[in-house]
Structure 1
Amino acid sequence: MISVGHNNNAVLEQKVDEIEQFYLNTSKIQPSTSKGSSIVKDKDKERHVPGIRKQKQEASRREKAAEKRMEELMRQLGTILRNLTQHKWARPFLQPVDVKGLGLDDYYEVIDKPMDFSTVKKQMEAKEYKNVREICTDVRLIFKNAMEYNDERSDVHIMAKTLLAKFEEKWLQLLPKVTEEVIYDHAILYTGACWDETRREEEEAEAQLDMQLAQEAAHAKMTRDISNEACRFMCFLKQVMKTSTEEKRKLGAALSRLSPDDLSKALEIVAQNNTSFQATAEEVNLDIDAQSESTLWRLKLFVKDAMETQSKAAASAGGNNDINDHSKNKNNNSSINSKRKREICDAIAKTARKRSKKPSS
């Protein structure tokens, strides 16, 4: 079942990349003009001067109108990005990754072009983007970098995938206007560059625009399909992440087997997503059923790693007797930690017994 989700995700990302590449190629298209056909005789120029002047005035008017439409598109996309950056999961993507501070020595080996929302904002304010499609490309890059570098089970990977799906949904709503602007831009380029083209060349340009319109429509449909697939994938992901009653019972039992230090770290994980939970309080009452799926998954992953580390440490300590003196120096701290561990484990067990004694309806 999980493998199917991964395959769907791969297909989804492949289609997103295809649309992104299509827009990159589209931005480079220029109408073809013949140098020979653009040069006319002086007497022809004199005869057509009034018509050419009128055409240039019309082209200037269209360019100004196009600039206003582009400003409106930029404004709408800016609103989408502001709402996206205010999401509770957007914090890891707001600023450049602190590669040195986090000790990510291999980051630049994996990621060719780092990107974050602060960089996108600066480039938008400096008007370095030629169109909204370039902004869209960088926004996608933010989340794709995060998904590429972080394991698919990690919080950052899941957060990036979720926010990318939300962005694609909003981009789909904006796409018809973007498509219209692409076609209109090419119409202006054609009008400005082909004053003296023959009727045959005009028809060829119109055919090219019709072809591009068909391509834009096809990619608009593909984007809608991607949005639907993203929605289905997120529903699938939520179902997969749901923790069963048996898994919660096993998690509670595993927590009671942690070392005092690891147990304190586990409580800190709970406190991160639950502001009312006091991990360092005198008395701790941890209700597994009351925790979010995200917290439960983080706890399961942490407990798994901690138990593996404890097993390895126990195996390596089996043949070493030289650590007795060092252990004696820590007796006081260990007894305090052990006492606190017993209190917390008793609280977990007490909560579990309360759940089991509830009368069935």
Structure 2
Amino acid sequence: MAHNSVENLNRYNHIVYGLQEQVHKLEKQIKEVEQFYQSTADALQNGFQSKDEKPPKMPLKRASEEMQNEVMRHFSKILTEITQHKWVWPFLEPVDVKGLGLHDYYQVIKKPMDFSTIRRKIKAKDHSRYKNVREIYEDVRLIFMNAMTYNNEKDDIYVMAKTLLEKFEKKWLNLLPKVDKAESELSKEEADEQLNKKLAQEATYANRATGLSAELSKVETALRNLKSTLISQCRKLSGPEKIILVNGFAQLSEDNLTKALQIIIENDPNFKPTDEIPILDIEAQSDYTLWRLYMLVKQTLDEGKNLITHEDSMEENKHNAKRRKIE
């Protein structure tokens, strides 16, 4: 390295730090992609009968919409016929509980209903609006059931309610096949929409995965280029630097000694320490390997930790260092 090695080292450390931050961000995004595929794999698999089956395509116009409109037209006719019957007048407006002195009405009837309320809910623009024709059917039926619940069987209101309910149920049964068909078509379309939504999400995440792969490849290339640059700028260790490496190596803890051996193995796959205390041939290592070992030792010495506590004298330490033959 040149005389400005410290400045270069700081610059390279900054580059490495930036690459590490980029890798961390990419790893987070990769985890999100993996979680998406993990959470949707079963749902997507269950959505197809076979691997060769193509995903369903939504029609340009929802078939269920026209079917629902037709059902509603028929039901409106039924509603008109019932509300025009001569016996319907007691059920057109809410029960006048106070005026009729029905003090226990709300104790017996938990959900009052009448045709004016139904009309209002049909025309409503907020959350109170009916979601489907079955909800209207339930409320119409509730009108008559309330009257039959509160009144005795011999009362005129009871008889009127029972008669109208029977007429209404008969007309409803005739309409019911169309209601079932429209609901079935709606359910199918909603299932198809949900499946298509998941497929669209899968395509999005597939594109993200491709992009992330490309970004990781760029990071890998940058690291290789940085390594090549560092290797090309490596000079031979000076005498004092060799002394620091030798003496410091002798003080490395077991963990840091393992790191040092890993550095050697990375650049010399054929290296295999055979002794409990590894004996290294300094001439067999490249300048790049020596510099990495030197930086590890120097960092450990600067931090003042992960060092072996010796009770031997300084002369004995030097003797041990020579035995290791570390440059």
Which has the greater radius of gyration? 2
User: Does the pair score TM above 0.5?
Assistant: no
Give TM-score scaled by structure 2 length: 0.43
